[in-house]
Structure 1
Amino acid sequence: MRPITRILAALTTGMTLVIGVGAANAEPTGPPPSIAWAPCPENPEGECGTLRVPLDWNRPKGEGIDLAVARHTATDPARRLGVLLVDPGGPGGSAAEFALSGLFSPEIRARFDIVGIDSRGTGNSLAIPCGDLMTEQPTNYPADETGFTALLRYNQRVLEQCRERSGPIFDHADSGLVAEDMDAVRRALGERKISYFGLSYGTVFGQQYAEKFGDRIRAMVLDSIVDHSVGTRRFMGERAEAVDDSFAEFARWCDRTVSCALHGQDVFGAWETALVRADGQPLGRQRLIDSVYGSLRGPDWAGTADLIATTITQDPLAARSFEPNYQSVRLATVCQDFSLRIKNFQEYSRLRAEELRRSPLMRGSFIGHDEATACIGVPGPPANPPHRLDIRDAPKILVLNGDTIPSPRTPGRSTSAGRRRATPRC
Structure 2
Amino acid sequence: MRAFGAVLASTLLASAFLASTVLLTGATPALADATWSPYPIAWTTCPDDPDNPGVPDGECGTLRVPLDWDRPHGPSIGLAVARHRATDPAHRVGVLMADAGGPGTSGAEIPLSPGYFGAEVEARFDVVGFDLRGTGNSSYIGCEIPDAAPDNEPADRARFEALRAYDRQVVTDCRARNLPVFDHADTAVNARDLDAVRRALGEDRISFHGASYGTLLGQQYAERYGDHVRAMVLDGVIDHSVDLEHFVGDRAAAVDELFGQFTAWCAATTTCALHGRDVLATWRQAQVAADAMPFPHNWLRDRVHQDMRIPDWDDVGRVIADTAAGTSPMRAEFVYNYTSIRLAVVCQDFDLRMPTFARYAAMHAEELRRSPIMRGSTIGHDEATACLGVAGPPANPPHRLNVSKAPRILLLSSRYDPATPYAWAVNAHRQAPANTTLLTYEGSGHGAYRRTPCTRAAVDGYLLTLKTPHHDFSCPA
2:40 paired with 1:34: yes
> Quick one: distance in 2 between partners of 1:126 and 1:387?
28
Which string of whole-angstrom CA distances, capped at 9 and with x for unpartnered residues, describes residues 202-232 of structure 1?
1111111010100111111111111111111
Describe how 1:250-329 pairs up with structure 2 within 5 A: 250-283=262-295, 286-319=298-331, 321=333, 324-329=336-341
| Equivalent position of 1:180 in the other structure | 192
Pair 1:238–1:300, CA change in 2 (3 A) = same
Deviation at 1:40, TM superposition (A): 1.3
| Equivalent position of 1:125 in the other structure | 138
Which string of whole-angstrom CA distances, capped at 9 and with x for unpartnered residues, describes residues 350-386 of structure 1?
1111001101111111111000000003111111100
Pair 1:261–1:111, CA change in 2 (3 A) = farther
Pair 1:322–1:210, CA change in 2 (3 A) = farther
Pair 1:68–1:40, CA change in 2 (3 A) = same
Give secondary structure in 2 for the equivalent of 1:48: strand
Identity %: 54
| Equivalent position of 2:11 in the other structure | none
> Quick one: distance in 2 between partners of 1:346 and 1:423?
35
> Quick one: distance in 1 between partners of 2:311 and 2:261?
10
Which string of whole-angstrom CA distances, capped at 9 and with x for unpartnered residues, describes residues 16-42 of structure 1?
xxxx98435388477543211111123
> Quick one: distance in 2 between partners of 1:135 and 1:276?
22
Q: Which one-letter code corresponds to 1:36 in the other structure?
A: A
2:27 paired with 1:23: yes
Which string of whole-angstrom CA distances, capped at 9 and with x for unpartnered residues, describes residues 273-296 of structure 1?
211222332226611011101110
> Quick one: distance in 2 between partners of 1:172 and 1:21?
21
| Equivalent position of 1:114 in the other structure | 127
> Quick one: distance in 2 between partners of 1:315 and 1:173?
42
- Which residue of 190, 200, 210 maps to 2:212? 200
2:180 paired with 1:168: yes
| Equivalent position of 2:402 in the other structure | 390
Deviation at 1:268, TM superposition (A): 2.3
> Quick one: distance in 1 between partners of 2:329 and 2:94?
44
Pair 1:340–1:424, CA change in 2 (3 A) = farther
Deviation at 1:425, TM superposition (A): 5.8
Deviation at 1:393, TM superposition (A): 0.8
2:348 paired with 1:336: yes
Pair 1:420–1:345, CA change in 2 (3 A) = farther
> Quick one: distance in 2 between partners of 1:359 and 1:392?
36
> Quick one: distance in 2 between partners of 1:215 and 1:37?
27
Normalising by structure 1, report the TM-score: 0.87
> Quick one: distance in 1 between partners of 2:197 and 2:342?
23
Which string of whole-angstrom CA distances, capped at 9 and with x for unpartnered residues, describes residues 321-372 of structure 1?
3661000000000111111101111111111110011011111111110000
Describe how 1:137-148 pairs up with structure 2 within 5 A: 137-148=149-160
| Equivalent position of 2:64 in the other structure | 52
| Equivalent position of 2:474 in the other structure | none
> Quick one: distance in 2 between partners of 1:291 and 1:271?
13
Does the 8 A contact of 1:224 with 1:424 survive in 2?
no
Pair 1:338–1:319, CA change in 2 (3 A) = farther
Give secondary structure in 1 for the equivalent of 2:128: strand
Deviation at 1:319, TM superposition (A): 4.7
Give secondary structure in 2 for the equivalent of 1:135: coil
Q: In angstroms, what is the RMSD of aligned CA positions?
A: 2.6
Give secondary structure in 1 for the equivalent of 2:62: strand
Give secondary structure in 2 for the equivalent of 1:85: strand
Does the 8 A contact of 1:21 with 1:394 survive in 2?
no
Q: Which piece of structure 1 moves more, 394-403 or 30-39?
A: 30-39
Pair 1:364–1:319, CA change in 2 (3 A) = farther
Give secondary structure in 1 for the equivalent of 2:98: strand
Normalising by structure 2, report the TM-score: 0.78
> Quick one: distance in 1 between partners of 2:191 and 2:25?
17
> Quick one: distance in 2 between partners of 1:197 and 1:39?
24
> Quick one: distance in 2 between partners of 1:372 and 1:422?
28
Pair 1:31–1:288, CA change in 2 (3 A) = closer
Aligned pair count?
Answer: 395
> Quick one: distance in 2 between partners of 1:316 and 1:215?
53
Pair 1:388–1:264, CA change in 2 (3 A) = same
Give secondary structure in 1 for the equivalent of 2:95: strand
Give the gaps of 5 or more residues in structure 1: 5-19, 406-418
Deviation at 1:320, TM superposition (A): 5.4
